[in-house]
Amino acid sequence: MNTHFLLIGDASGRRLNGFVECFKKLGTSSYQVITWQEYFDDFLVFSRKLRENTIVRLEPPEKDMEIYRAILKLGEVDNRLSNAEIDDIDFSQFPIIAPGQWYAGFTKLITDIAQTCSVHADKKILMMQDHCEALAMMDKRQTYDRLAAKAKEYSYYLPAKLEAPLRVKEFREMYGGQVLKCFIKLRYGSGGTGILAYKNNPRLNEETLWTSLKVEIRGGKKFFYSGRKIAFITDKAKIGELIEWVLANGAHIETWIPKAAYQGTHFDTRVLVAAKTPQYFITRLSKTPITNLHLGNQRRNSSEVFTAGQLAVLSQAAADVMKVFNKSLYAGIDIVCSPGYKPYVIDVNPFGDLFHNLLGTEANVYYYEIKAALEKMREIQ
Amino acid sequence: MEAIKFFVDYDDEVTLEKKLADYIEEHVSYDLPAITIGHWNDAYDTSPEPVINYLIANKAKFPNLKKIFLGDIDSDECEVSWIIHTDAAPLINEFALEEIIIKGANGLRLKNAASNTLKELTIISGGLASNTLNDIAEATIPNLEHLELYLGVDDYGFDGDISTLEPFMQRSNFPKVTYWGLKNSEIADEICERVLASDILPGLEVLDISLGTLSNRGAELILENMDKLAHLKTLDLTYNYVSDELLEKIIAKGSELNIEVLCSKEDVYNEDDEDYRYPYITE
């Protein structure tokens, strides 16, 4: 029985084009593409294109700010930005606007798509991502809570979670008197977006931050956006301003796990698990506490960094994370190893399968995903 | 020297002294010539006194110990300037050590340190206090050959000035020192000026003024006095704020005199802004 793929993604994005390239190389699969732009012009395009035996794959909207605007408009939250305010946003510097409202909008968007799929269940439709789990992974609090609930059963470790107040004043009242190293993360941020690596030592009157989050004042208003470089900030007022914004937009705070070092440089590892099996490891070396590759950090083959035994531990931890998200076909799992090589999970990314270095190569992880999806489809058929 | 590193990992509930005791229980004695003491519980808050006490109380179980690295702690585990220490002199006094390296210097003392075997002393810190420096100056370590002190900055505990460093300029205090490093300092230019006029200089093989805020001022003095350095094997100026032109002249003169000049600026973060010049290791 012929299986078709239906992809929704960003027209100019590397994800969509990278995936399509894999189909072309395979030469056999039948596929159609809907861009987010087309989807927002006419929601019904999706159900029209759903044929029998279709595997649906969603790619996240990338840097198209008109799509960001459209998703924001779908979001229903308290104190929401009105449509008129959304129309007025100046997106020229890619500011991060109302991430909670964006997440609510994205939830509505992919829930609608999933519902359309269930309406057409008789056609045998498979979504590559389980939308509920993908949404949970996009919320760092939910991700943490789901993993914490099962941590005793599995081999991964988690940093301790700290209470996140809503204002920096409370934050400093709660934590200012103690030595603290923690990561203050934007609950709905992806990758390195809105992550503050925070240190406080009252004995030395020292409070510092590493972050790529920047603030700029334009037309009397503050705009927060991600810079391309990670800055080290020691000015207390500036630190307060950045923490205040992350807390106000929903924060998840975790203790700072000391990282193991490779040749004197700290690292973490992204593990792609597809069909329950760790398929690909990339170790990211960084001179700062934030290791995301788009922030200019180096990558290394994990086999260079780990012994076979250590890699097996890492592999098991990643596979165990996917047992918690057991309806998902794949995810990218970020793991920090402590100096004693205990694996601590610091992030789970439902769209964490974009490895720029593999695009166009035979090692591209998209091939694993296509194979795994086709196998799962056969089970349904 | 072959060593085992003992340390407490994140979330470990066992203490470092317990890890040492477990090792001894299993192996009866620790026979290697060197030992590395890494992160101990709450190193930002608690000194390694229990570890030191354990080692001293069980010194017969460490029969071959010649080298101790106390505080081999990564910045991610605890920043160097946050590490709390105590009086570490008993390690020098009780073991026949040839080398000791200590990282971190908050509360570090070396009171009445005395050893005829100690040849190498290194203290890595973001700020070394006057009382610690005075302890070293007053220590009875006549066979010391290698003296390497990371002085750091006042924000992190360096509360002295050039006069505090005077004892280290005098050959009579360190008769056998051939490696002399007063480094990682925010007063590197002053150190440079003083050491060039000191009587410790003639017997040195390595002059190490690296990792500090050495500027053209100090570098010009070095260039003017290169003939006084002709006996050196190595002049270490790694990490500096000196102009490339001046460094090239020092390298060229060094080459004539057969001195290895190390002067990479690879890790210098903000070279051009004179208001924000820091030594390599501070926090």
Q: Which residues contact residue A262 at a Cβ distance below 8 angstroms, ignoring those fewer than 6 apart? A: A283, A285, A300, A304, A305
Domain count for chain B:
2
Q: Which residues of B touch A199 (CB under 8 A)?
A: 79
Residue B220 CA to residue B217 CA, distance in Å, equals 5
Domain shared by B49 and B173, yes or no = yes
Domain shared by B171 and B221, yes or no = no
**Closest residue to A179, CB basis, from B45, B74, B283:** B45
Q: Which residues of A touch B74 (CB under 8 A)?
A: 258, 261, 266, 339
Q: Which residues contact residue A356 at a Cβ distance below 8 angstroms, ignoring those fewer than 6 apart? A: A14, A293
pLDDT tens digits for A293-314?
Answer: 666 678 888 889 999 999 999 9
The mean per-residue pLDDT over the stretch A196-213 comes to: 94
On the question of pLDDT at A28 being above 90, the answer is no
pLDDT more than 70, % of chain A: 98
B195 in a structural domain: no
**Reported confidence tier of residue B272, pLDDT bands at 50, 70, 90:** low
Q: Does A220 touch chain B (CB under 8 A)?
A: no
Mean pLDDT taken over chain A: 91
DSSP secondary structure, chain B, as one string? --EEEE-PPTT--S-HHHHHHHHHHHHSS--SSEEEE---TTTTT--SHHHHHHHHHTGGG-TT--EEEE----TTTS-GGG-B--B-HHHHHHS--SEEEEE--BT-B-TT-B-SS--EEEEE-SB--HHHHHHHHH-B-TT--EEEEEEE-GGGT----GGGGGGGG-GGGSTT--EEEEEEETTHHHHHHHHHTSSSGGG-SEEE-TTS--BHHHHHHHHHTGGGGTT-SEEE--S-B--HHHHHHHHHHHHHHT-EEE---TT-S-TT-GGG---S---
Distance of CA A299 to the CA centre of its chain: 18
Domain shared by B94 and B226, yes or no = no
Distance of CA A345 to the CA centre of its chain: 13
0.85 surpassed by complex ipTM: yes
Domain shared by B115 and B215, yes or no = no
Q: Would you state the structure tokens that stand for residue A37, as one six-digit string?
A: 């732009």
Q: Does A154 touch chain B (CB under 8 A)?
A: no
* Contact between B3 and B32 (Cβ < 8 Å): yes
Domain shared by B17 and B99, yes or no = yes
Residue B226 CA to residue B220 CA, distance in Å, equals 10
Domain shared by B91 and B31, yes or no = yes
- Please judge whether B74 and A258 are an interchain contact, meaning their C-beta atoms are less than 8 angstroms apart: yes
Q: What is the pTM assigned to this prediction?
A: 0.92
Q: Does A26 touch chain B (CB under 8 A)?
A: no
Pairwise pLDDT comparison (A19 vs B128), residue with the higher score: B128
B147 in a structural domain: yes
Q: Which residues contact residue A82 at a Cβ distance below 8 angstroms, ignoring those fewer than 6 apart? A: none
From B160, B177, B194, the end of a domain falls on B177
Structural domain boundaries enclosing B48: 3-177
Domain shared by B144 and B274, yes or no = no
As a dihedral over the C-alpha atoms of residue B227, residue B229, residue B230, residue B231, rounded to 10 degrees, the angle is 150
Domain shared by B169 and B212, yes or no = no
Q: Give the pLDDT confidence score for residue A244 in this predicted structure.
A: 97
- Please judge whether A342 and B10 are an interchain contact, meaning their C-beta atoms are less than 8 angstroms apart: yes
- Please judge whether A206 and B45 are an interchain contact, meaning their C-beta atoms are less than 8 angstroms apart: no
From B158, B177, B196, the end of a domain falls on B177
B127 in a structural domain: yes
Domain shared by B140 and B267, yes or no = no
pLDDT tens digits for A322-336?
Answer: 999 999 989 999 999
**Closest residue to B74, CB basis, from A157, A257, A339:** A339
- Please judge whether B10 and A199 are an interchain contact, meaning their C-beta atoms are less than 8 angstroms apart: no
Least confident of A1-10, A168-177, A202-211: A1-10
The mean per-residue pLDDT over the stretch B200-204 comes to: 97
B188 in a structural domain: no
Q: Give the pLDDT confidence score for residue B214 in this predicted structure.
A: 97
Domain shared by B82 and B148, yes or no = yes
List the single best residue of B6, B8, B10 to mutate versus A (max A Cβ within 10 A).
B10
CA-based nearest distance B279→chain A, Å: 16
pLDDT tens digits for B68-104?
Answer: 999 999 999 999 999 999 999 999 999 999 999 999 9
CATH number (domain holding residue B159): 3.80.10.10
- Phi/psi at B76 (nearest 5 deg)? -70, -30
